Structure 1
Amino acid sequence: MAAGAMFFIVGLCFASWASRIATIQQTLGLSEAALGGVLFALPVGLMLSLPFAGWAVSKIGSRRLLIIAAVTYGIALVGLGSVTSIFGLIVCLICFGFASNTANISVNTQAVAAEQLYERPILASFHGLWSLAGFVGAGIGTFMIDKQIAPQQHFIIILGLMILIVVICSRYLNNDRSISDEPIFVMPDSSLIKLGIIAFCSLMCEGAMFDWSVIYFKKVVSVDGAQMAAGYTGFMLTMASGRFVADKLVHKFGIKRILQISGLLSAIGLMIAVIFPTFYTAIIGFLLVGFGVSSVVPLVYSEAGKSKTMRPSVALAAVSTIGFIGFLIGPPVIGFIAGITGSLRYSFTLIAAMGMSVAILSTKAKLS
């Protein structure tokens, strides 16, 4: 329960940022290309966090690291809502990416420990809580936009909620302080690299949807006000729903079949939104993308946890880090392509290709 609550607040923090990107873009007067360049600060923060996160988990345990990372994540979020310059935004995004990946590694390590206690697959449900938080965050963001509440005030409220949940849950997290000195991130073997690439492609789609869906509805679908977040909200709704049923579907159809279908749904949904950029057809497309990406990451993480060459937590951290790079570089790539071509529709076509790659790679991968 405590680990699930931490998944929720980590998801809420990122969703809060994603829901206000268009507002911050407008406030700073950034073009799509400029925003894409600025968003590269997120993966920079991620890369900087890798040696630190590995060292910290092995030295102080995932429980302590998660507590520190979650609070830092919220503080960085408030920083993003307070910036008044491009330089300030870049600095805050680096800090945000650093805290984001540190929280991601530590909370997934907690989830692995919880799954071992339950002795059955539950990682998808944990990620479902992360997605549910994204849906809640999108709803809160829509409300804040509609009421014209500044991002800074919005994000301060989210930080307060995060601190409250951390205080309540901290005593119930798995206390893994006395663990091996083995680093949490090591070079994975070939089978884990393949799983990481599948996660990379899916998370590239997911990251693009988080950061650009509101802007896509504003610039391409041509809607204003609260309707700008409609596609994002629909995407988060189906992604959360899909993760809560993923374990049952895998038991019935097998992991390979579910991953293949997931990749196809992502590709088809994105192409619908590209070819038919009207309000209702775009929503339908985004709903399909939500279902498409919902199962991929938790299933890949669960498969990584079964590694016979590494400890589950080490394998999971390695695969999640490869995948999370896709999550963070997808948005800036979208911005650069949009700047070169003059349209977000071309960028979303590339992301559709990433969805198709999930289906193809899943067909060739050896899965249990």
Structure 2
Amino acid sequence: MIGSSSWTPARAARIAVSALFFLQGLCFASWTSRIPALQQSLGLNDAGLGSVLFALPIGLMVSIPIAGWLVAQYGSKVCVISGAAAYACILTLLGLTQTPWQLVLGLIFFGFASNITNIAMNTQAVAVEARYGRPVMASFHGYWSLAGFAGAAIGWGMTNLQWAPYRHFACITVMDILTLLLVSRYVLQQDINTDRSRPRFAWPGQVLLMLGLVAFCAAICEGTMDDWSGVYFKKVVIVPPSLVGVGYVAFKGTSAGARLIADVFTAKFGRKHILQACGVLTAGGFMLAICLPYLVTATIGFLLVGAGVSIIVPLVNSAAGRATHLSTGLALATVSTIGNAGFLIGPPLIGFVAQWHGLQVSFFIIALLGGCITVLASRVKT
């Protein structure tokens, strides 16, 4: 196949970067699939587990400015290969932890390695997209979503086989390292926006701030679905226990599907119009689930939310990597900093409002933020 006329450097790089996104998603899904087993082995109650899990976003947030500088200084190829290898190795270490404090420390480093890899591979994706001359960014994130399904399925199988988490994670690590060795030669050596005259640190400017706010709204909406969709189906839709996860599955399904086909629509209609449509779909999906909290209508609403919110971050990353005076790595780090704040703020915001006014009021606030995506997208250059 390598000798085929269809095998071009751009195509090889696209396949390699797709593999990197898949490996990243597989590692993360493998970790999340074995959280219950680690909770049991470490003797953590729900409150203790929640406190331990907060170490992961701490690692993510601490690493953001460092990741942007590393990618700008050494290039995304070095950072993505070393970061992905470290991420996979730390995964195995998480399975070997014997105390909660060991797990906390491991998760901080896990988040740190994750974000370096994330910034670097998105920088690679921006460069591949530039070589193609058309939108391809969303498809990379689609492979991350597909890896989530694969990782969850493997985790379910390993649990049924009663494999200890460290054995499960070690298998994923070996597969990850072997794949990295295979694809590393095809990863792009040269990033775009690498002019040494570009500042390494600077005020991001209006364009990146607006894109960051779009990512912030999307992160809160997505985080709400990840953390509260099952609770909403249980307490508001009031379904049997066997159907509590239906809304979340619907959300994840359309998230993966939308990412795999979004590039076609982006090429036809442009990033700005697609971002505006995503805001409408996200807000409309939440409103449908709020106003008609029944199994069928709430499921359809969550399907719409998945289709809308899933491709916002890929589109924002694509725009940020090009429309800036900063290097691509720092631009992506800036947007990620603002966007990731949404993941930190969203869950407690939902819980606080729900405690006093109910989940439907909480979801209404999130629907308004979905609508803000449309307004913000109309004001930003993409």
Q: Tell me, yes or no, whether TM beats 0.5.
A: yes
**Hey, what's the Cα distance between the residues in 2 that align with 1:120 and 1:68?**
29
Structure 2 counterparts to residues 348-359 of structure 1, below 5 A: 350-359=365-374
> Does the residue aligned with 1:367 lie in a helix, a strand or coil?
coil
**Structure 1 unaligned residues grouped into runs of 5+:** none
Evaluate the alpha carbon distance shift between residue 273 and residue 82 of structure 1 in structure 2; reply closer, same or farther with a 3 A threshold: farther
Structure 2 counterparts to residues 303-342 of structure 1, below 5 A: 303-307=319-323, 309-327=325-343, 329-330=344-345, 333=348, 337=352
Contact 2:218-2:309 within 8 A present in 1 as well: yes
RMSD, matched Cα? 3.7
Percent of residue pairs bearing the same amino acid type: 47
Shift of 1:189: 0.5
Moved more, 119-128 or 86-95: 86-95
Tell me if 1:236 matches 2:252.
yes
Shift of 1:6: 0.5
Structure 2 counterparts to residues 71-86 of structure 1, below 5 A: 71-86=85-100
**Hey, what's the Cα distance between the residues in 2 that align with 1:201 and 1:156?**
36
Moved more, 67-76 or 102-111: 67-76
Q: Which amino acid aligns with 2:276?
A: Q
**Correspondence for 2:128:** 114
Structure 2 counterparts to residues 254-269 of structure 1, below 5 A: 254-269=270-285
Shift of 1:94: 1.4
**Hey, what's the Cα distance between the residues in 2 that align with 1:152 and 1:356?**
43
Cα-to-partner distance string for 1:46-70 (whole Å, 9 max, x where unaligned): 2321343233223332111111111
**Structure 2 unaligned residues grouped into runs of 5+:** 1-14
**Correspondence for 2:178:** 164
Tell me if 1:52 matches 2:37.
no
Q: Which amino acid aligns with 1:195?
A: L
**Hey, what's the Cα distance between the residues in 1 that align with 2:251 and 2:179?**
26
**Hey, what's the Cα distance between the residues in 1 that align with 2:162 and 2:293?**
26
Contact 1:38-1:332 within 8 A present in 2 as well: no
Evaluate the alpha carbon distance shift between residue 98 and residue 366 of structure 1 in structure 2; reply closer, same or farther with a 3 A threshold: same
Cα-to-partner distance string for 1:85-113 (whole Å, 9 max, x where unaligned): 44333322211221111111110111122
Contact 1:199-1:322 within 8 A present in 2 as well: yes
Cα-to-partner distance string for 1:252-304 (whole Å, 9 max, x where unaligned): 44433322332233334345556777766554443222111122112212222
Q: State the TM-score, normalized to the length of structure 2.
A: 0.79
Tell me if 1:129 matches 2:143.
yes
**Hey, what's the Cα distance between the residues in 2 that align with 1:85 and 1:215?**
30
**Hey, what's the Cα distance between the residues in 2 that align with 1:238 and 1:97?**
26
Matched residue count: 364
Contact 2:68-2:329 within 8 A present in 1 as well: no
Contact 1:138-1:233 within 8 A present in 2 as well: no
Structure 2 counterparts to residues 1-368 of structure 1, below 5 A: 1-21=15-35, 24=38, 28-31=43-46, 35-144=49-158, 149-176=163-190, 186-210=202-226, 231-270=247-286, 283-307=299-323, 309-327=325-343, 329-330=344-345, 333=348, 337=352, 350-363=365-378, 365-368=379-382
**Correspondence for 2:12:** none
Shift of 1:322: 2.5
Cα-to-partner distance string for 1:334-357 (whole Å, 9 max, x where unaligned): 685399569877765554443233
**Hey, what's the Cα distance between the residues in 1 that align with 2:381 and 2:230?**
35
Evaluate the alpha carbon distance shift between residue 103 and residue 330 of structure 1 in structure 2; reply closer, same or farther with a 3 A threshold: farther
Evaluate the alpha carbon distance shift between residue 171 and residue 263 of structure 1 in structure 2; reply closer, same or farther with a 3 A threshold: same
Larger Rg: 2
Shift of 1:138: 3.2
Evaluate the alpha carbon distance shift between residue 276 and residue 38 of structure 1 in structure 2; reply closer, same or farther with a 3 A threshold: farther
Shift of 1:219: 8.2
Evaluate the alpha carbon distance shift between residue 10 and residue 331 of structure 1 in structure 2; reply closer, same or farther with a 3 A threshold: farther
Evaluate the alpha carbon distance shift between residue 246 and residue 148 of structure 1 in structure 2; reply closer, same or farther with a 3 A threshold: same
Shift of 1:186: 4.1
> Does the residue aligned with 1:309 lie in a helix, a strand or coil?
coil
Moved more, 148-157 or 254-263: 148-157
Evaluate the alpha carbon distance shift between residue 270 and residue 306 of structure 1 in structure 2; reply closer, same or farther with a 3 A threshold: same
> Does the residue aligned with 2:75 lie in a helix, a strand or coil?
helix
Q: Which amino acid aligns with 1:89?
A: L
**Hey, what's the Cα distance between the residues in 1 that align with 2:311 and 2:320?**
14
Evaluate the alpha carbon distance shift between residue 349 and residue 151 of structure 1 in structure 2; reply closer, same or farther with a 3 A threshold: farther
Moved more, 18-27 or 62-71: 18-27
Evaluate the alpha carbon distance shift between residue 15 and residue 236 of structure 1 in structure 2; reply closer, same or farther with a 3 A threshold: farther
Moved more, 86-95 or 167-176: 86-95
**Hey, what's the Cα distance between the residues in 2 that align with 1:135 and 1:314?**
31
**Hey, what's the Cα distance between the residues in 2 that align with 1:56 and 1:203?**
24
Shift of 1:114: 1.3
Cα-to-partner distance string for 1:222-270 (whole Å, 9 max, x where unaligned): 7668x77654443332112112222222344443332233223333434
